[in-house]
Structure 1
Amino acid sequence: MRALGKSRRTSRTVTVGLCAAACAAALTAAAPAQAHGTGGTAHWELKVSGTDVRFRGLSAVSRDTAWVAGSKGTVLRTTDGGASWRDVSPPAAAALEFRDIEAFDARRAVALTIGEGEDSRVFRTDDGGATWTESFRNTDPKAFYDCLTFFDRRHGLAMSDPVDGRFRILSTSDGGRSWKVLPRGGMPAAQEGEAGFAASGQCLVSAGPRDVWLATGGAARARVLHSADRGLTWKAADTPIPAGDPARGVFALAFRDRAHGLAVGGDYRADQASPRSAAVSGDGGRTWKPAGGPPASYRSGVAWLPHSRTSALAVGPTGTDLTRDGGRTWRTVDTGSYDTVDCTPDLGCWAAGEKGRVARLER
């Protein structure tokens, strides 16, 4: 945005689910402001990234492997749980701003830079960042790309703020090696001033092979748009998160399946309150209800805890909040600054943000 074996498998699933529940319980027990943690509680453990750039792009592959992308064209990768980071920044992107990255494994990733006109680009690597290919460069001065998402290793989408009154969607069917603009006929008209927020790489998210959701703000109403056919047609739903200002709206979404979703946001200005900063949906985003006890401040990132039907984390510049009831109520569990959060099936949760901050959830 211009402002910003069956029995063995069953046993393992039960074990991981119990671990996720234990992690959520430990987080609940943690005292606020416990950035490093003591006494065995779950906590964010800061990792030394070796840079002071702001990371708004994050893709967690596992507890060991994660990618972060941010300002000054910076992309880092770890394969040892954050003990060390390799600078794998594309040489051609030094003057650009990365805001989203989607990694398939330790070697393959697709990253998005934002900005007006040619500043919006997509890069892909197949060798762990040793080399990158620029697979898309925006040539429309009216377009401004914010986020991208993948359904699988081949199929993905990227979204731009409205062009001629409608959000623009890019599509790839070859893992981000090539892109095409989808027809605009299936996209509802945008509101005056409506756009996405390139704050955490979570304004466009997917669940399953075909469902995708797009978060908006800046207009009279903060909305979530949903497509069940990989971006060809969309339906819009209002959310209770306040908008009516370029700095307000839905900043991030997370769906644990095609029905159950969370939305967080608010007003990103530090001197402005953010009431009703979270909402929840149980019908695939067709309707949204306000959280009864939302985070106290603006939140820019959100992620479900792995293998949990009720627990999730939301992050922002003033801290981290935990829900254990599917998004109805939230409790602050850490006051460290983070912009984005991502979790993996092997119970790896990562967060990243300003001043080179990267952390992994430890217990």
Structure 2
Amino acid sequence: MTAGVACAAALAALTAGSAHAAAPAPHWALKNTGTPDMRFRGLAAVDRHTAWLAGTAGTVLRTGDGGTTWRNVSPPGAGDLQFRDVEAFDARSAVVLAIGEGEASRVYRTDDGGATWTESFRNSDPAAFYDCMTFFDRRHGLAMSDPVDGRFRILSTADGGRSWRVLPGTGMPAALDGEAGFAASGQCLVASGPKDAWLATGGGAHARVLHTADRGLTWTAADTPVPAGDPAKGVFGLAFRDRAHGLAVGGDYRPDQTSPRAGAVTRDGGRTWRSAPTPPPAYRSGVAWLPHSRTAALAVGPTGTDLTTDGGRTWRTVDTGSYDTVDCTPDLSCWAAGEQGRAARLER
């Protein structure tokens, strides 16, 4: 059985539930990265063979053999940086985002598989703190910062992350008191299609999702039912399978706190959100639609992985391992990554 067929079978069995109870259970198969001290919150899955990880201590890893081996392709001199997002176009081209106040927020791009990197953006505003980035295609993308002067700040690129410019803030609604994004999984800013993107927030009185239909020039904001009102609470991860259908996950990232209503669903492009009747049972930081599915998705967090097969209405736990982020690819592959150097691919 080829790797692609095996992964497709794993996804089919996972979504089928008890109908395939006698078959081998799909599971996250851990892939040894050799980096037990690292935490990878940035993940870009290209296909069943190729994936990029971005994490603590300026670390970037890449595999081209399905996770059997990993190559450390970290940018030189980045050891003091915290990479929280990576967006990859293929096995050779990728963009990574480092978070932090002032000059700690940076963007790097490689076109040779990580052999060399070019720093394409370094934040010069001490009030800015960049959290996430996303790409509409190989050229056009956005990155977002926590509010500066009362509004979320948006960076834009039209050349694949080789250069960036700050967009005018006139089209951005005012931020709530205490509102910010969460650099927890690289999924607080996501895109679907050529011009639509969504930005997830927390910390304010309401957990909101902001939407743009013009690549970041203008935004509208919608409240979600995910609890907020505290710097540790809000929406942490988003996933859209098209312009209309989206999922939001989050909660309270503190391990001693419960996370009720940790999932929400939209069917109108983020204009309105409804609570999942049976949400994930705990805080979740990452979410991804399963390949070519209209109803199935995975959500991950420090206490486990949950599956929905009805478009986000109900979730059930299918794994108890700790992961921060998840990503799936068109060739029927799903990957996850997290603390203690963890990386895994869904297999059976």
- Which bin holds the TM-score, normalised by the shorter protein? over 0.9
Q: Does 1:218 align with 2:203?
A: yes
**Cα contact 1:61–1:344 (8 A) shared by 2:** yes
Aligned pair partner of 2:158 in 166, 173, 183? 173
SS, match of residue 83 in structure 1: coil
Task: Name the counterpart of 1:203.
Answer: 188
Aligned pair partner of 2:67 in 79, 82, 90? 82
Listed one character per residue, the Cα deviations across residues 168-187 of structure 1 (whole Å, up to 9, x for unaligned) are 00000000000000000000
1:1-363 matched pairs, under 5 angstroms: 22-25=12-15, 40-52=24-36, 53-363=38-348
**Cα contact 1:252–1:301 (8 A) shared by 2:** yes
Rounded to whole Å, the distance in 2 between the matches of 1:326 and 1:343 is: 16
**Cα contact 2:8–2:332 (8 A) shared by 1:** no
**Cα contact 1:147–1:201 (8 A) shared by 2:** yes
Rounded to whole Å, the distance in 2 between the matches of 1:29 and 1:145 is: 45
Letter in 1 for 2:33: S
Deviation at 1:19, TM superposition (A): 5.0
Rounded to whole Å, the distance in 2 between the matches of 1:137 and 1:212 is: 23
Letter in 2 for 1:25: T
Listed one character per residue, the Cα deviations across residues 21-71 of structure 1 (whole Å, up to 9, x for unaligned) are 61433566799xxxxxx9511110000000020000000000000000000
Rounded to whole Å, the distance in 1 between the matches of 2:16 and 2:292 is: 16
Rounded to whole Å, the distance in 1 between the matches of 2:302 and 2:67 is: 21
**Cα contact 1:124–1:132 (8 A) shared by 2:** yes
The alpha-carbon distance between structure 1 residues 26 and 180, as it changes in their structure 2 partners (threshold 3 A), is same
Listed one character per residue, the Cα deviations across residues 299-318 of structure 1 (whole Å, up to 9, x for unaligned) are 00000000000000000000
Rounded to whole Å, the distance in 2 between the matches of 1:267 and 1:30 is: 34
The alpha-carbon distance between structure 1 residues 28 and 307, as it changes in their structure 2 partners (threshold 3 A), is farther
Rounded to whole Å, the distance in 1 between the matches of 2:30 and 2:102 is: 36
Deviation at 1:227, TM superposition (A): 0.2
Uncovered stretches (5+) of structure 2, i.e. residues with no partner: none
**Cα contact 2:249–2:286 (8 A) shared by 1:** yes
**Cα contact 2:14–2:25 (8 A) shared by 1:** no
**Cα contact 2:10–2:347 (8 A) shared by 1:** no
Rounded to whole Å, the distance in 2 between the matches of 1:276 and 1:354 is: 25
Listed one character per residue, the Cα deviations across residues 97-126 of structure 1 (whole Å, up to 9, x for unaligned) are 000000000000000000000000000000
Letter in 2 for 1:44: W
The alpha-carbon distance between structure 1 residues 242 and 81, as it changes in their structure 2 partners (threshold 3 A), is same
Deviation at 1:205, TM superposition (A): 0.0
**Cα contact 1:16–1:307 (8 A) shared by 2:** no
Task: Name the counterpart of 1:6.
Answer: none
RMSD (Å) for aligned C-alpha atoms = 1.8
Letter in 2 for 1:68: L
Rounded to whole Å, the distance in 2 between the matches of 1:50 and 1:27 is: 33
**Cα contact 1:27–1:42 (8 A) shared by 2:** no
Rounded to whole Å, the distance in 2 between the matches of 1:47 and 1:229 is: 39
Uncovered stretches (5+) of structure 1, i.e. residues with no partner: 1-14, 32-37
**Cα contact 1:118–1:138 (8 A) shared by 2:** yes
Deviation at 1:92, TM superposition (A): 2.2
The alpha-carbon distance between structure 1 residues 17 and 318, as it changes in their structure 2 partners (threshold 3 A), is closer
